[in-house]
Chains A and B, each alone.
Chain A
């Protein structure tokens, strides 16, 4: 009823991991406690209205007892219980102890997209975080510019990405699936359109994906080869990186395997040839504030071959 939409994929009350479930339980316990306390106050106000004494009582003893009982004794007891609950849940969502996880992914926030690095493998991707199921993974977050916050509500709490610091949380998702996340610290014009997907795969499928991401894409042929030339002549490589080419830019997302992703521009558009074409033509139209300039000055044919090249990078 109240949470009719609680199947939605970014919901706090739709947990998919043990950590998120513990926080969800904490929430419902607090919700019930809060409603009980709220009811006592409503009861007193209704009592005042129903009674409406004709003459006030000036006896202060009973009010004192209620004030001390309701305002001091009851809160001390309830808050002590709550504090115990909080202390109990905190370790599960704190920085994972060294050596307690099986792998690490480095997440770097950019205005306005997500970069994911898999240390020790050389794989770099953007806006789609692939993780193996049933594996405790350490997520180490940093930022390339302003403060962002990494948040996938169904998997765990959020953690801020602050210049000069590396913060860590753990994700251990039992069930393969796609979980939506979104930047949750205001980071500028593109903040609302800085989302990402966490794609949890069975470990074997994940290993296969990771192996593919480490491959240098084969040299393009046909239209795609023309696209590579456009990519190089239009200066795309000063911001983007594609392994095996001269493009080594660090400003925008790594495009080495861009064709294998299902969305572009941090979940703003689906990764179809038409959407990619539109995006290259005028990014500001779809994501105001995006750092990428529009390339409507390139002849349409060149833009089409550029799209063909990018889509071939799987």
Chain B
């Protein structure tokens, strides 16, 4: 690393001392007890990609069943399970954990010049709870009791009367646990971004990636509790016979839908906001230009999260609500187009006025822009109430949200995998193979999802395991299925590229792309303490202000914010980013994983009606919390 290489003996000695203080336990124990945001990020990455593979296989089976009319690959019972598992897996166990858990965790402390997240043990707890919820949820499938009422899980279909098995309980309890994990993570991101930015990083110098994550975390924090309440109502109804949704006893089936979509639509923005953040990181690097209209883009990211809370009823336009409600929510759903439009034109204009170099990460961002605009435009048509009342619950909607959630949200994640691969592994990915993988995935996405617009307009409903051959939906479905396999081929090529490059790639050095944000000023991969000296921040693109980081080298020699006497990181004021205090950070701990394991087992016991066992687990969880707090880091 340039900063250390140029340093004198005093600087090198300071770095050696940091190495000793931040050394982690070796081997498996090290991973199980780690509080290092990078290791936790990597565990999120691997786990969410495994769930992605599971969700992908589920999708391929469904596409095979729908390849032609009257296919008999799976029956409706199995199809409904696959459909539910696919939706829940992709949203709760793939996209959110990958975008916030993996990318957010790994990158945010590095981008803001911090040594870890604000609450490192809480961060570990988030991951282990996420893993626990995933295992719990997939246990249902393993024992043949997978949920089958769709990811939206409407009552009364999901009530005990119409879904008597354990499937819905796996859904509800798995998602309550998953929600706890995400809520904790969101709080952690908010505090980290507000308090742990390096001195000098006032709000106007904060990377747009962090704005996007801030907005997504804000949405998560306020949307998820609503889903949790909804799921608790459902479980209380199913397990103890309460009547939240039963109109015969004063309940209301639409209550489920209102609460579900009050969470469910902000959820869409929670999914795409991190993608916006990745786009605003990749575009400047490969166009050698700062983001055009930076303040407007930052504002737009925050506005999207805010307005996202006012549009949920557009998922319920056909439930027979009064016209005035429909008009209000149609207007809100149209207004949210504006912040998205601002960002789209800002991305485009940065490329037009910059000097773009179309390497793999930027190609994925170009694909993302095209998908986001296309999916956004079909989204506008769904805000037009009468048209929505025609096409809702048809394949037109399936096409729309796959353009948005797959094309717009996941493409930047794929581009981001390539972009930060050298930082994480210290090796370069294979550029040529990377570009081929882009074209395969790009073509595969269009071939799979474009025909669904047409089958939807021709009247094909969603969530059907089969369809008649005489309604003109055959060719569209057959092409979609071919596209799904093409898409899979492209994804496999990405996996091959990254695995091969991990083993054989060229050494990357700290900053192979000449990128401007702070994560590129440290070694690849970064040391456990991230930065030998907390970097100096002079603009949102500090790497371009001082490419050699000469000033940081001198500060290392002087011992200015090296903090080589303890497990420490600086905290700053939330707006101006002035140094506030030095905070002590906890090191590795066995308690987060213990607490998560005990909680997961407790949930499994509630699910299987072993309430005494669940009570014992709750007591153990309380004990684990006490043990956790018995070991506070010493004050600076």
A residues at B contact (CB < 8 Å)? 2-13, 20, 22-23, 26-27, 30-31, 34, 37-38, 41-42, 44-45, 47-49, 51-60, 62-64, 66-72, 74-76, 79, 82-83, 85-87, 89-90, 92-95, 111, 145-147, 149, 151, 153, 157-160, 162-165, 167-168, 180, 182-193, 195, 288-289
Interface of B, secondary structure class, is helix
Give the Cβ gap from A171 to chain B, nearest Cβ, in Å.
14
CA distance A31 to B330 in the complex (A): 18
B358 touches A49 (CB 8 A): yes
Contact B384 A30 (CB under 8 A): yes
**Cβ contacts under 8 Å, A165 to chain B:** 247, 320
Cβ contact within 8 Å between A159 and B386: no
Looking at the assembled complex, report how far the CB atom of B251 sits from the nearest CB atom of chain A, in whole angstroms.
Answer: 8
- Tell me which residues across on chain A come within 8 A of B292, comparing CB atoms: 60, 63-64, 67
B489 is an interface residue with CB less than 8 A from chain A: no
Report the bound CA distance from A23 to B386 in whole Å: 6
Residues of A within 8 A of B358 (CB): 49
10 cross-chain pairs, A with B, having the tightest CB-CB distances, nearest first: A5-B472, A164-B247, A10-B459, A71-B342, A63-B292, A192-B464, A157-B389, A167-B320, A48-B351, A63-B349
Bound complex: CA of A74 vs CA of B462, how far in Å? Answer: 33
> What separation, in Å, do the CA atoms of A57 and B257 have in the docked complex?
50
Chain B residues, Cβ within 8 Å of A157: 318, 386, 389-390
Q: Are B318 and A56 in contact (CB under 8 A)?
A: no
> In the assembled complex, which residues on chain B have CB atoms less than 8 Å from the CB atom of A49?
356, 358
Question: B446: which A residues are within 8 A, CB to CB?
Answer: none
Contact A192 B466 (CB under 8 A): yes
Please list the residues of chain B having a beta carbon within 8 angstroms of any beta carbon in chain A: 75-77, 80, 148-150, 154, 156-157, 162, 247-248, 252-254, 287-290, 292-293, 296, 300, 318-320, 323, 326-327, 330-331, 334-335, 337-338, 341-346, 348-356, 358, 366, 369-370, 373-374, 377-378, 380-381, 384-387, 389-394, 454, 456-468, 470-473, 475
Residue of A nearest to B153 (CB): A186
Given contacts A62-B353, A289-B77, 12 further A-B contacts (CB under 8 A): A30-B384, A48-B351, A52-B355, A58-B289, A67-B296, A72-B338, A86-B384, A93-B389, A157-B390, A159-B389, A162-B320, A182-B461
Closest partner residue, chain A, to B460 (CB atom): A10
Contact between B356 and A5, CB atoms less than 8 A apart: no
Please judge, given known A-B contacts A45-B348, A149-B393, A159-B318, whether A60 and B293 are in contact too, CB under 8 Å: yes
CB pair B377–A94 under 8 Å, yes or no, is no
Q: How far is the CA of A71 from the CA of B358 in the complex (A)?
A: 24
Q: Are A90 and B390 in contact (CB under 8 A)?
A: no
Which A residues lie within 8 Å of B288 (CB)? 55-56
Q: Which of A41, A72, A184, A288 is the one whose CB lies under 8 Å from B342?
A: A72
Most buried by B among A38, A49, A69, A157: A157
Closest B residue to A287 by CB, please name it. Answer: B76
Least CB distance, A263 to chain B, in whole angstroms? 11
Q: Is the CB of A192 within 8 A of B344?
A: no
In the complex, chain B residues whose CB is within 8 Å of the CB of A87: 327
A6 — nearest CB in chain B belongs to which residue?
Answer: B458
Residues from chain A with a CB closer than 8 A to the CB of B459 are: 8, 10-12, 153, 180, 182
| Cβ contacts A to B, 5 pairs, < 8 Å | A34-B378, A68-B293, A180-B459, A184-B393, A192-B461
Chain A residues with Cβ below 8 Å from B390 are 12, 20, 23, 27, 153, 157-158
**CB <8 Å contact, A185 and B458:** no
Give A158 to B630 CA distance when docked, in angstroms.
60
For the complex, what is the distance from the CA of A20 to the CA of B387, rounded to whole Å? 9
Rounded to whole Å, the gap between the CB of A124 and the closest CB of chain B is 23
> Which residue from B162, B349, B387 sits with its C-beta under 8 Å from A67?
B349
**In the bound complex, how far is the Cα of B468 from the Cα of A149, in angstroms?**
19
Residue in contact with B386 in the complex, picked from A26, A66, A70, A190, CB distance below 8 Å: A26
A90 lies within 8 A of B457 (CB): no
Question: A12-B457, A90-B385 known; A186 and B154 CB under 8 Å?
Answer: yes
Q: Which of B252, B344, B350, B384 contacts A63 (CB 8 A)?
A: B350
Cα–Cα, bound, A238→B341 (Å): 60
Minimum C-beta distance from B595 to chain A (A)? 37
Which residues on the B side are within 8 Å of A186 (C-beta)?
A: 80, 149-150, 154, 157, 393, 462-463
A202 to B188, CA, bound (A): 68
Question: Given A10-B459, A83-B334, A157-B389, A44–B348 Cβ distance below 8 Å?
Answer: yes
Q: Which B residues are in CB contact (< 8 Å) with A86?
A: 330, 384-386
Closest to A8 in B: B472
In the complex, residue of chain B having the shortest beta-carbon distance to the beta carbon of A94: B323
Q: Is the CB of B76 within 8 A of A289?
A: yes
**Chain B residues within 8 Å of A70, by CB:** 341, 344-345
Contact of A37 among B162, B326, B335, B377 (CB under 8 A): B377
A8 CB to nearest chain B CB (Å): 4
- Which residue of the partner chain B has the closest CB to A22? B386
Q: Which of A9, A31, A56 contacts B287 (CB 8 A)?
A: A56
B102 to A: closest C-beta gap in Å:
28
Within 8 Å CB of B348, what residues of A?
41, 44-45, 48, 66
CB–CB B345/A180 < 8 A: no
Query: In the bound complex, do residue B472 and residue A11 qualify as a contact, i.e. CB atoms below 8 Å apart?
Result: yes
- Provide the residues of chain B in CB contact with A162, threshold 8 Å: 253-254, 319-320
B392 touches A158 (CB 8 A): yes
**Which residues from A are CB-within-8-Å of B342?**
67-68, 71-72
Taking a contact as CB atoms under 8 Å apart, the answer to whether B355 and A189 are in contact is no
Q: Is B464 a contact of A191 with CB atoms below 8 Å?
A: yes
Q: Quick one: closest B residue to A166, CB to CB?
A: B320
B residues less than 8 Å from A20 (CB atoms): 390
Q: How far is the CA of A180 from the CA of B380 in the complex (A)?
A: 28
A30 and B381 within 8 A (CB): yes
**A90-B386 in contact given A10-B471, A56-B353, A183-B461 (Cβ < 8 Å):** yes
Residue with the highest number of chain B CB atoms closer than 10 Å, among A62, A63, A71: A71
Given the contacts A11-B459, A153-B459, A163 and B156 also touching, CB distance less than 8 Å:
yes
Q: Name the A residues within 8 Å of B381 (CB-CB).
A: 27, 30-31, 34
A23 neighbours in B (Cβ, 8 Å): 386-387, 389-390
B472 and A67 within 8 A (CB): no
B47 to chain A minimum Cβ distance, whole angstroms, is: 29
Residue in chain B with minimal CB distance to A57: B353
In the assembly, what is the distance between CA of A34 and CA of B358, in Å?
Answer: 27
Nearest-neighbour CB distance to chain B for A215, whole angstroms, equals 33
Residues in A with CB closer than 8 Å to B462 are: 184, 186
B426 CB to nearest chain A CB (Å): 29
- Rounded to whole Å, the gap between the CB of B609 and the closest CB of chain A is 24
- The interface residues of chain A lying within 8 Å CB-to-CB of B289 are 56-58
C-alpha gap A68/B349 in the complex (Å): 11
8 Å CB contact of B366 from A45, A47, A52, A183: A45
Q: How many Å lie between the Cα of A72 and that of B461 in the bound state?
A: 35
Which residues on the B side are within 8 Å of A60 (C-beta)?
A: 292-293
